[in-house]
Amino acid sequence: MPNLARTRASRPAERVLNPSMLAEVAAGLAAPQKELSPKYFYDQRGSELFEAITRLPEYYPTRTERALLEGWMPELMAQLGTRTLIELGAGNAEKSRIILNAMRATGLAELYVPIDVSATFLSQTAARLRREYPGLAVEPAIADISVELNLPHRMPRPALFAFLGSTIGNFYPPAAIRLLTRVRAAMGPGDRFLMGVDLRKDIARIEAAYNDSQGITAEFNRNMLLVLNQELGADLDPRAFEHRATYDTVAHRIEMHLVAVRDQVVTIPGMDPVMIRQGESIRTEISTKYDRASVAALFDAAELRIEAWPTDPTTPFGLVVGAPA
Ligand code: SAH
Ligand code: AVI
């Protein structure tokens, strides 16, 4: 369990050094609805907090997706003969092992490329996988996937591009389409794309998943303030913000916000001071919930076609297999 008590950043920088972070943050905090990108959740502590979220009783996506992968991967990997697995936003790669095991069973597993913005966490994941899969080449790539994939020059084909956890839901539609288009551009004719998507369901169940009773999601949300303190020298006080997560039934997404509990002025070197009023919020994440039509629209726009779509009947969640259109 990560250290939940820490409120001040005191760690070495470990995220991808992003020269545009200051400009992005300044623009986000100047907008009428203040907004910060969810990619800023994930320093080492943020990655550990997300890992803790995946084990919460209320957080259904991880275990539902895991069950789907266990049911489908052996058959899919035998069918595709995949030699390279490229994974976007790999995190701890816990579920990736299900794919890697299925690849290993075919005797074809050669290369695993986990891509993530959380550099230290990624290198720990890669080191563990090298120990667990001695015959497999593991080439981690540090990248902000909203900008680039940073793939190795040579990859044995056919390759499977995986994007699990419904992380696609954290991107607004235009950014999601740009990301899928980037994946499509990297695919060869025999390659496939595997994407986990959380589907629309009972709102109370979704809201419970983002408002857990142990307060881990709230801590994860506030961690973004520590990342800004660490990376930009900001003076944000996590105790001055409350976690809020509510479902928007029109946009079909849960939104996470940090709500100011008092008026405050935030100082970030290199930009104008930011006044935040009591009750005003910073939106830190959207998590879109899909149906088949909304996934098909994303795929169409990125010139991908849905080849298979296994879903979980009890907890609506889908695993989409896409091919070049
Ligand atoms: N795939 C894992 C982890 C999901 S959490 C799972 O299904 O459990 C989201 C992951 O994506 C985190 O590891 C985070 O560091 C990474 N991530 C988020 N935004 C990113 C971005 N813009 N570029 C690269 N990685 C990103
Ligand atoms: C990584 N991503 C898919 C998670 C989600 O459910 O949108 C992040 C998360 N936010 C709160 N809890 C989990």
In tens, the pLDDT along 137-151 reads 999 999 999 999 999
**In angstroms, what is the span from residue 272 Cα to ligand 1's centroid?**
30
For residue range 212-237, list pLDDT tens digits in order: 999 999 999 999 999 999 999 999 99
Measured CA angle at 55 (ends 48, 168), to 5 deg: 70
DSSP string, 228-252: HHHHH-----GGGEEEEEEEETTTT
Nearest to 299 by CA among 322, 280, 266, 283: 322
Predicted pLDDT at 253: 98
**In angstroms, what is the span from residue 254 Cα to ligand 2's centroid?**
10
**In angstroms, what is the span from residue 117 Cα to ligand 1's centroid?**
7
Predicted pLDDT at 311: 87
| Position 19 confidence tier, pLDDT thresholds 50, 70, 90 | low
The ligand 1 site (C-beta within 6 Å) comprises 39, 42, 47, 50, 54, 62, 89-91, 95, 116-118, 143-146, 164-165, 167
The amino acid sitting at 72 is W
For residue range 281-294, list pLDDT tens digits in order: 999 999 999 999 99
Is 1 a residue whose pLDDT tops 50? no
The H-assigned helical ranges of the chain are 21-30, 44-54, 60-80, 96-106, 119-132, 173-186, 203-209, 216-232, 292-301
* Residue 23 near residue 270 (C-beta atoms within 8 A): no
What does pTM read for this prediction?
A: 0.95
First to last CA, the chain: 43
Residues 6+ apart with CB under 8 A from 31: none
Percent of the chain with pLDDT over 70: 94
Predicted pLDDT at 3: 43
Predicted pLDDT at 18: 59
CA 191 to CA 322: how far, in whole Å?
9
